Amino acid sequence: MRALFTCLMALGACARADRFAGLREAIAEREARVPGAVVGVYLRDLADDATLEHRGDSLFHAASTMKLPLLVEYVRAVEAGKIDTNATLRLENRFASVVDGSPFTLDPGDDSDSTLYARVGQDVPLRELVERMITRSSNLATNALVGILGAERAQATARALGATTMVVARGVEDTKAFEAGIINRTSARDLGVLLEAIVSDRAASPEGTRTMLEILERQEFSAEIPAGLPGGTRVAHKTGWITGVLHDAAIIFPPGGRPPFILVVLTRGIPDQAVARALIQDIARSTWDALVSTEP
């Protein structure tokens, strides 16, 4: 009986290895169809702790995915009693460059949440800024929160949770910092590890991680990974984009009580965002087919 069990386990491992081999080939082939594209993929199936990586440790400009460690840092600060859940902040559109302290402002026209600028000069709840930072990817909310939470603390927390190469050096749209090479960076693996820390309740208490998941599920920009999945699939995720860069990092919850899986797709070198978006959707679709559609 033990020999039979061992044999069946080995067959299951081989089947999973073969399925991942096909998926790995599909990802490489899809990337090759886009000249100049560089793609980083991290897949973690929590059903059996299986992992697939395609340039998983390559560093990319983080774009707005750097807002994920800020979310984690905020929830942890609340749980540690450092921030009151009812705390407010006088919202200003004036920030100091990390290079020399010189002031800069954000352009509402370049922000995916331009409506928040009407609140400048008003007291805004921190929890609302956190919500907008994730669900609408507000740059104004992000920079305000960096001033409260600290980029260095968000980076330290991310690294303590296993995102060992993630760099959270500043807020967003700090042109002097960008020109000086001070850039927020991440790998697909770093984002995947951080998402796993959330869904496994290691990033905070169960109540705290539930709060994070609920916010990530309210993400309003869902044209990347979610668009490659069957309609109605539960997804908690964070996107990010700048010129030539498009990312999505997601926890995907298949139906029927199957454990979730984590999929992170980072792209650069693709000037046309629609082309990058289609690539991410196809990788999400192929991943779903490999992990879920083939299951009995």
Concatenate the DSSP letters of all residues of 238-293 into one string.
EEEEETTEEEEEEEEE-STTPPPEEEEEEEES-S-HHHHHHHHHHHHHHHHIIIII
With a cut of 50, list the residues of the chain below it in pLDDT: 1-15
* All structural domains of the chain with their residue ranges: 25-293
Note the pLDDT tens digit of each residue in 60-116.
Answer: 999 999 999 999 999 999 999 999 999 999 999 999 999 999 999 999 999 999 999
Structure confidence at residue 293 (pLDDT)? 77
Strand runs labelled E in 83-147: 88-90, 95-96, 103-104, 123-125
Please tell me the CATH code under which domain 25-293 is placed. Answer: 3.40.710.10
Q: What confidence score (pLDDT) does residue 113 get?
A: 97
pLDDT the model gives residue 18? 61
pLDDT at 112: 96
Q: What pLDDT sits at residue 245? A: 98
